[in-house]
Structure 1
């Protein structure tokens, strides 16, 4: 019996890398949004046994944990094919996705300064990616 390596199948090549990055951004962002919604539902953090039981049973918390676990495994796959010096800064796209998710999904107000920050993040990533190609 043979096993497939990480570099075979749909994960191979540029398309596979793009899919992995999309999965990482989606799972990390979802984890943040689930945590926010669940935290709002749970209310004050009093750290009683009842509160901890409520945390353990909260669907948002469970979804956040699943999202972070998925993100961990996707991150491991990304690091197998990318340098950490490029991959880690690229992961800042999660900040942009969380901002968009909190604006579109949670109705949060996003200031002009935050939008400027998004442009700076994307510009920085473009510079890093350009430098990596040369």
Structure 2
């Protein structure tokens, strides 16, 4: 596990975070769709417990929490938090590829702006 402490490990952790956070958002959407149009009630809460998409989302968020803790041990919060906005890109791509959602040109421009901002932040980071 020594590789985890180097640059490759950092890249792997970031990839895991983006995958888990994006997966959690997409699973939440799927879980909500599986629940259908229910009002907030005891039946709705019971439905949540029985819905696979909700369980996948919870597992993703728990995994993401632990990965985030590992990332924060090696990165400054002032860089790590803005980099976590890559999750927006992951959710957009996942909803487009996995859920068949239509993505507007404006959304794609937003992705480009996020990526540009992250590149600027990374460039300004002291090594």
Do the two structures share a fold, i.e. TM-score over 0.5? yes
* Correspondence for 2:20 among 19, 23, 27: 27
What is residue 9 of structure 2 aligned with on the other side?
16
Segments of 5+ residues of structure 2 without an aligned counterpart are none
Shift of 1:57: 1.1
Cα separation, 2, equivalents of 1:63 and 1:109: 24
What is residue 42 of structure 1 aligned with on the other side?
35
What is residue 70 of structure 2 aligned with on the other side?
77
What is residue 52 of structure 1 aligned with on the other side?
45
Segments of 5+ residues of structure 1 without an aligned counterpart are 1-7
Shift of 1:41: 1.4
| Rg larger for | 1
Cα separation, 2, equivalents of 1:88 and 1:23: 15
Cα separation, 2, equivalents of 1:74 and 1:117: 26
Q: TM-score, normalised by structure 2?
A: 0.96
What is residue 91 of structure 1 aligned with on the other side?
84
State the superposition RMSD in angstroms: 1.1
Count of matched residue pairs:
127
Q: TM-score, normalised by structure 1?
A: 0.91
> Which runs of 4 or more aligned residues in structure 1 lie more than 2 Å from their structure 2 counterparts after TM superposition?
none
State how 1:93-132 maps to structure 2 within 5 Å. 93-132=86-125
